[in-house]
Structure 1
Amino acid sequence: MRRTSSRPDSRRANGARRPVSGKDEPRATHPALTDKEIAQVGRLIYRWTGMIFGENKRYYIERRIGERMARSRMADVATYLGFAGSHLDEREALINAFTINETYFYREEHQLQALSAQILPEIVRSKRPGDAVRIWSMPCSTGEEGYSIAIWLLENWSMVDAYNVEIVGSDVDTAALRHAREGRFGTRSLARLPAKVVDAYFEGERGHRRKIIDDLRESVRFAPANIVDRASLAALGRFDVILCRNLLIYFDDEARRLAVSNLYHSLNPGGFICLGHSESMTRITDLFELVRLEGAIVYRKP
């Protein structure tokens, strides 16, 4: 990641997914699933993602299954689940339907402040100018998480040009990743950004939407990954900093331990992990050291 002419010196002032609609689009219904079917759906989603969906999410499950059954033109739940289990494209679409992509730029800003003021200065103590500094955002949702890191560092870390900063965003939701690569965002996503930052890094488009400038969009790489599947993480390599916020709350204890083990193996020795404000690594494992920073609690791999 490097500063370019598209940064503030040449300012250019000037989301949510929606289903495709059309005359031939089948109308989704919400089938009334039996307790057995609810449990079967929960087992499949858990096996594929580690996320927990049970009886307390019945309406959500029925609505998502109904939408996918309508698009697949299937009326029988058992038939559809068998189809999703044996066809990777439909499995991917079903996983995408169950994921939650609620985020915005500069979310949990106190961690970004800790990143530039304390975490990265500690990381680069053992590096030379020009060395890689690798940061992973998992889950990255529709791109706000990864792009927030890039913008924050350009604005707040004076050493950003001295190192080869690599930012990778990953998610199990492939539809969200497509959105992230496009780099188009609405007013809600941008609400927390200062106006001067929006003007510096986004181009105006029709309506209230903004597109992130190409130089910044190309500085963040997005790749699919499943945090409970170590094989899907291997190609990403190891990182100096991982931001994994508000994901483990959707897992049970067994899936959390598996996810944390995978995070451990994805982190360089001495690297840091940032979790969501309601999450605690010490309740899951003793693999990491708790580190209290000014304004943030993070975890470090010894």
Structure 2
Amino acid sequence: MDDRVTGAESEGLSAEDYATLCDFLRERTGLSFTEAKRYFVDRRVASRIQAVGAAGLRAYLNLLRFQASGEELQRLVNLMTVNETYFFREKYQFDCLVNSALDELVRGRPKGSRLRIWSAGCATGEEPYSIAIMLLEHWKRVDDYEIELLASDIDSAVLDRAREGVYDERALQGLPAHLRAKYFQPWRGAAEGGGPRWRIVEELRESVEFSLVNIADPQQARAFRGIDVIFCRNLLIYFDDLGRREAAGMFHDALAPGGFVCLGHSESMSRMSSLFVPRRFPDAILYQKPADGGAQ
């Protein structure tokens, strides 16, 4: 084994190497890793350097930059992302969607027109499936419109799990028993901790279109246009200030005039961009793209 690999595993990356790697990851993914995340990053990068047999970080970075398939970069991204979520997380924002935002969005629209909702950073799928359940259970006009549920993540492994739709007790902890019985079926095989698992019904699995998307990549982001509501909760906390501003600009371009962005409870669009108008609804604060498409 190359001595530099052993050093990377036992002592971690040098300050210069760590900065180089973080700059690369920020440029390619938008994710920002500070000094506080150094141990987390060190271990994961060292494991991949060893796995591919690279002669240290420089050789590994060359692989990430120039590998035509992009497979190794995807493997590293999958290791670097944290996917902590569960059904009905921060439910008050889903309540805002079905109690206020959607009714405002469809005002004046004819029946049968399209509504597009995008869960950006969907992880293992609990968020878009929660949206689907809320629409079916609580929005009386759900059958009057053609609703597209889009969901994306930069991590290909969690997207596979989202499409499979199998969850353990922890993911379902916030779900009322009658909704679990209605929308989930017992699944063969226990979870890692030995507990039972459930699979979301086929109708809901087919209602969400999952795709691999890096929101920091302008070319990939351009695929999303005419969106009415974007859920991007607790993702931009992993970006630096510049990355958050760029993401806000991308969301502005993706939204239809009058569309809404829903952020995590600790996030505020006012710290990122002046392109949106804060809207205080009874259940939550959302951020709206002005109807004229510009800032107010």
Task: Note whether the superposition's TM-score is higher than 0.5.
Answer: yes
| Residue in 1 that maps onto 2:276 | 288
Q: Which residue of 2 aligns with 1:58?
A: 38
Which among 97, 108, 115 is matched to residue 115 of structure 1?
97
Alignment of 1:93-242 (within 5 A): 93-205=75-187, 206-207=189-190, 208-242=196-230
Amino acid at match of 2:156: T
* Cα deviation 1:127-150 (Å, max 9, x = unaligned): 111111110001111111111100
SS in 2 for 1:83: helix
Aligned letter for 1:185?
A: Y
Distance 1:209 1:263 in 2: 35
What is the distance in 2 between the residues matched to 1:55 and 1:85? 23
Amino acid aligned to 2:138: N
- Kindly tell me: are residues 181 and 293 of structure 1, through their superposed partners in 2, closer, same or farther at Cα, counting changes over 3 Å? same
Query: Where in structure 2 are there 5+ consecutive unaligned residues?
Result: 1-7, 191-195, 291-296
Partner of 1:69: 49
Q: Deviations over 1:214-237 (max 9, x none)?
A: 111000000121222221022233
Letter in 1 for 2:134: W
Please list the CA deviations of residues 96-128 of structure 1 after superposition, one character each: whole Å capped at 9, or x if unmatched.
111111111101100000000000010111311
What SS class does the counterpart of residue 189 from structure 1 fall into?
Answer: coil
Q: 1 or 2 for the larger relative contact order (CA 8 Å, sep ≥6)?
A: 1
8 Å Cα contact 2:225-2:253 kept in structure 1:
no
How much has 1:31 moved relative to structure 2? 5.4
Distance 1:211 1:29, change over 3 A: farther
Runs of at least 4 residues of structure 1 off by over 3 A?
A: 28-31
Report the TM-score when normalising by structure 1. 0.87
Q: Can you list the C-alpha shifts for 1:59-92, whole angstroms capped at 9, x where unaligned?
A: 1011111222233233522222221222211011
Q: 1:30/1:210 Cα in 2 relative to 1: closer, same or farther (>3 Å)?
A: farther
Give me the CA root mean square deviation: 1.5
Q: Match of 1:237, SS?
A: coil
* Offset at residue 293 of structure 1 (A): 0.6
Q: Which residue of 243, 252, 257 corresponds with 2:240?
A: 252
Residue 80 and residue 30 in structure 1: after superposition, are their counterparts in 2 closer, same or farther (change >3 A)?
A: farther
1:19-98 counterparts in 2 under 5 A?
A: 29=9, 32-74=12-54, 76-87=56-67, 88-98=70-80
Q: How many residues align?
A: 275
Residues 29 and 209 (structure 1), Cα distance of their counterparts in 2 relative to 1, 3 Å cut = farther
- Normalization by structure 2: what TM-score? 0.89
In structure 1, the gaps of 5 or more residues are: 1-27
